[in-house]
Amino acid sequence: MNSVRYTWPEGKKCAVVLSFDFDGITPYLWRSRHSQSKGISEKEQRRFGPRQGIYRILELLEKWEIKGSFYIPGVTAEEYPQAVEAIAKCGHEIGLHGYLHERVDELTRDKIEETLIKGKAAIEHIVGQRKMGYRSPSWEMTEDTFEVIKKYEVLYDSSLMGADHPYWINQMVELPVQWLLDDAIFYRYVGGGASVNPPANPATVIDTWKKEFEGIKKYGGLFMLTMHPWLSGRGSRILALESLISYLKMDSEIWWATAQEVAAYHQSLEVEGKNACLTEMIDR
Ligand SMILES: [Zn+2]
């Protein structure tokens, strides 16, 4: 690894992408596919996302004139087409996120291809044909999956953590994520008592994200925040997210972009051959 700074457009010091994994109930359905429980509690908890959370997020982004990146499993698109239409109507990016939120490390290559085709078709049925980026469900990734997304001319992947700025892996642009910038590790709670990872105080979460932002900016990286409407759509968390946005909006050295814009920028650097961070980082 070199210590050369990543170059952002217009002399900006870092980039900020607000991304949302609009899962609906699909992770639950995938997890319980062999043994469906009679219980509806977690399903209802998750339905809060497509029923209410997503609309609060869209309202917040509109207020602050931010375009986000939304990754949607095919089944969620089929169940909540109005929400997908609303996301598209606001001009946000829509990306692929499996069909039933399948973990790709549990699938054969053929099955991965099938889920990609079905997931893409479900979204395009609502918003029309388009080229999209990909975020793997549960951030699990495999070599087979890279082969499949390349075959279908997916624009980029955003599932891995091998750097904190865009990089290349398997001839694909990678827009890195990280656990510290995922709302699920702080907010996801589906019962079990206070001793089982109780939901964090939103003020603490925002403070953590601000500190991570300062670190990423210092080293010129990509602040890719990942949120889930069923978690971050709750009232106190929306208010906290707004306080973070308001804090970040005061910083004129940020490049605000969608993931797709960052991927296109990274690709353009290769064409111009002017960034030191272009070489594949795999195995190095
Ligand atoms: Zn997801």
Query: What's residue 179's pLDDT?
Result: 97
119, part of any domain: yes
CATH number for 60: 3.20.20.370
18, part of any domain: yes
pTM: 0.95
209, part of any domain: yes
1, part of any domain: no
Ion ligand 1: residue ranges with CB closer than 5 A: 21, 23
Query: What's residue 36's pLDDT?
Result: 77
Strands 172-174 and 167-169: antiparallel
- Extended strands (E) in 119-221: 167-169, 172-174
Determine the distance separating the centroid of ligand 1 and the alpha carbon of 276, expressed in angstroms.
Answer: 32
Query: What's residue 277's pLDDT?
Result: 55
Determine the distance separating the centroid of ligand 1 and the alpha carbon of 11, expressed in angstroms.
Answer: 33
Determine the distance separating the centroid of ligand 1 and the alpha carbon of 253, expressed in angstroms.
Answer: 30
241, part of any domain: yes
Q: Report the alpha-carbon distance of residue 73 to residue 236 in Å, rounded.
A: 26
Residue 122 sits in which domain range?
9-283
Sequence-distant (≥ 6) Cβ neighbours of residue 155 within 8 angstroms: 131, 132, 133, 134, 173, 260, 263, 264
Instruction: Give the gyration radius of the chain's Cα atoms.
Output: 18
Count: domains in the chain: 1
10-52 confidence digits (pLDDT tens): 999 999 999 999 999 999 999 999 987 889 999 999 999 999 9
Q: Choose among 251, 253, 225, 252: nearest CA to 240.
A: 225
4, part of any domain: no
- How much of the chain exceeds pLDDT 90, in percent? 88
Determine the distance separating the centroid of ligand 1 and the alpha carbon of 272, expressed in angstroms.
Answer: 34
Which backbone phi and psi does 257 adopt, to 5 degrees?
Answer: -155, 165
Tell me if 170 sits within 8 A of 146, measured CB to CB: yes
Q: Which residues of the chain have pLDDT under 50?
A: 276, 282-284
2, part of any domain: no
46, part of any domain: yes
